Amino acid sequence: MAILQSFSGSDPEATDPEPTGGMVGATTAPRVISVAPDSPAAEAGVIVGDEVISVNGAAPRDVIEWQLLVDEAVVELELRRGGLEIGATATKPAGHPLGIEVHSAVFDRVRTCDNHCEFCFIYQLPKGMRRSLYLKDDDYRLSFLYGNYTTLTRFTEADFERVVTEGLSPLNVSIHATDPDVRSDMLRNKRGATSLRWLGALLDADIEVHGQVVVCPGINDAEILDNTLCGVLDEYPNLASVCVVPLGVSDHSNEPRMRPHTVAEAAAVCDIVEKWQDVFLTTLGRRTVFASDEYYLRAGRPFPAAETYGDFAMHEDGIGMARTLEREFFEAAHNPTVDVTGVRPGFFASVDGAPADQYRAPRLDPDQVVAVPVSLGIKRNAPIGILTGALGAEVLAPLVATLDRTDIRIVVVENQFFGGNTAVAGLLTGADLIRTLENEPAGHRYLLPDVCLSRGVFLDGLTVADLPHPVDLVETNGAALREALSR
């Protein structure tokens, strides 16, 4: 039910008022936020609230180093509890989980972004939101762990050595333009002209890298976009993929050069990308570059065939989401256990202790599930309203039409919180949902995609408990939608 799940660089984690990842302040010790029952850590006496000063004598900088340390069969922990330092020893088979989740993925300072891109959505956020949402990170570790994009302008020799030595792959890199002057201008950073040298070095070291080009009309579209894709083929042919996405412009942008694409500009981007897909396919045997679903919607064109997307590796960047949803929706009619393409968990899923931050965080906290309004008391045959953004409505409408049911309608939620051209389901807020639902009849079933929640909280800090009507939360995939509509 979403065309784009979140904006690049955002952090829609929910209720923790403390910035994730050591965003401010000096290096901190990882703090234990949960201990698995009957785990080696629990048997060693570790409890929630303990600070881990060292693991086997070393102070890890992040959960990547944490993982290497806790993989040992004997794990010596130095803990701080209530101002006192104590020791604990956990024993387990080597490589087995320790059973601890810590408060952050990064224990030293997150490497913040020193670019000043006109198109950065962080600069376009309204005031008064959670502090963590305003952080701009440019940390290769968060790229590896969570799929964030890095520009490499703060990348160093030491970083390169660590990435190669520890095999921190894949990484996601923001390219935007291969012309040094254009890229430097877009990043408003002189290092933008030279930092792509690291991209070449990473690829030469067999690190898997996915690229992104945010296209700004009149700045890096048209001939410059054409030259950028030519430059990718010439200089970085080993890139795993390149996603071409439109910039988001909210009502809070103060950049006069930033504006949404016209229909003709969107169509031109599709033409350029499809032309280069043919070139890449002929030259390398794969399409490599893809335009986001939003471009096809804006241009009024049908989406490319599902088979052209490969394994939908760029699903989270809005590439092939519509075709994925369509496939899941129709396959679920015959196969209730159809495989769905959801949020790619990233490396953190296999790291003992790493929290699931950002849009990969659980949609609901387990402790909050019972507090979520559900449609108890709503008649089984009650009319159904599917809540979504304007772009999601364009994708859902033809799918719902195939059901030939008059009791289902799509309720478009206008995004007044951000305004501008933000029309994706992943950026729906509680305030906009409240305004919309207040004008909808009671007693109907309302389906809400869970993609707009992170740990049970909308981006504006409200929860589903604040909505004027009960809602059914539906996983953001076609199979879950079809199942919800059949209840």
- 3-state DSSP call for residue 23? coil
Handedness of CA 40, 46, 50, 56 (dihedral sign): negative
Q: Which helix (H) or strand (E) holds 446?
A: strand 445-449
Place of tokens 């760029």: 314
The 10s digit of each residue's pLDDT in 51-103 is: 999 999 999 999 999 998 999 999 999 999 999 999 999 999 999 999 999 98
* d(C-alpha 389, C-alpha 477), whole Å: 15
Residue 127 amino acid letter: K
Give the model's pLDDT for residue 435.
Answer: 97
In the predicted structure, residue 23 carries a pLDDT above the cut 80: no
User: What are the distances in angstroms from CA 319 to CA 40, 126, 237, 241, 291?
Assistant: 41, 27, 20, 11, 7
Residues in the chain: 487
Contact between 425 and 265 under an 8 Å Cβ cutoff? The reply is: no
Residue 2 has pLDDT above 50, yes or no: no
Higher pLDDT, 429 or 356: 429
Helices 478-485, 321-331: axis angle to 10 degrees equals 40
* Domain assignments of the chain as residue spans, ordered by start: 32-102, 121-319, 360-485
| 3/17 Cα distance (integer angstroms) | 28
The two structure tokens encoding residue 327: 């496939």
C-alpha count within 13 angstroms, C-beta hemisphere, residue 267: 6
Of 260, 328, 329, 263, nearest in space to 296 by CA: 263
452 within 8 A of 387, measured Cβ to Cβ: no
Tens-digit pLDDT profile for residues 184-242: 999 999 999 999 999 999 999 999 999 999 999 999 999 999 999 999 999 999 999 99
**Partner residues linked to 290 by β-bridges:** 243
For residue 94, the tally of other CB atoms under 10 A from its CB is 8
**CA–CA distances in Å: residue 64 to residues 71, 131, 259, 363:** 11, 25, 39, 24
What kind of architecture, by CATH, is found in domain 121-319?
Alpha-Beta Barrel (3.20)
Residue 228 burial (10 A CB sphere; 0-12, 13-18, 19+): buried
Least trusted range by pLDDT, from 110-124, 288-302, 433-447: 110-124
Nearest to 287 by CA among 242, 317, 321: 242
> Where residue 370 falls among pLDDT bands split at 50, 70, 90?
very low
Q: Give residue 145's pLDDT.
A: 87
Q: Any bridge partners for residue 38, and if so which?
A: none
DSSP states of 121-180 as a string?
Answer: GGGGPPTTS-GGGG--B--HHHHHHH--EE-STT--HHHHHHHHHHT---EEEE-S-SSH
Per-position b or e across 291-320, b if 16+ CB within 10 A of its CB: bbbbbbbbbebebbeeeebeebbbbbbbbb
Q: pLDDT tens digit string along 261-297?
A: 999 999 999 999 999 999 999 999 999 999 999 999 9
Mean pLDDT across 326-349? 76
Please report, rounded to a whole number, the percentage of residues in the chain having pLDDT higher than 90. 71
Residues 6+ apart with CB under 8 A from 407: 381, 382, 383, 384
pLDDT above 70: residue 367: no
Confidence of residue 456 (pLDDT cuts 50, 70, 90): confident
Question: Which of 121, 8, 9 minimizes the C-alpha distance to 420?
Answer: 121
Question: Which residues, at least 6 apart from 16, have a Cβ–Cβ distance to it below 8 Å?
Answer: 103, 132
Report how far residue 340's alpha carbon sits from residue 328's, in angstroms, rounded to the nearest whole number.
Answer: 6
The CATH number of the domain covering residues in 32-102: 2.30.42.10
SS3 386: strand
Q: Report the pLDDT value the prediction gives residue 76, as an integer from 0 to 100.
A: 97
Q: Nearest-CA neighbor of 423 among 302, 282, 261?
A: 261
Tokens found for residue 251: 């009502």
- Whether 468 has a pLDDT exceeding 60, the answer reads yes
Q: Which two tokens stand for residue 42?
A: 């629990």
pLDDT in the model for residue 131: 78
Q: Is 394 left (phi over 0), alpha (psi -120 to 50) or beta?
A: alpha
CB 136 within 8 A of CB 178: no
Q: Residue 39: what residue type?
A: S
**Strand duo 149-150 + 171-174: pairing:** parallel
Partners of 74 in the β-ladder: 91
Q: Which residues contact 31 (CB under 8 A, 6 or more apart)?
A: 49, 50, 51, 52, 102, 103, 104
Structure tokens at 344: 């790619």
**Residue type at 109?**
R
Do 483 and 475 meet the contact criterion of CB atoms below 8 Å apart?
A: no
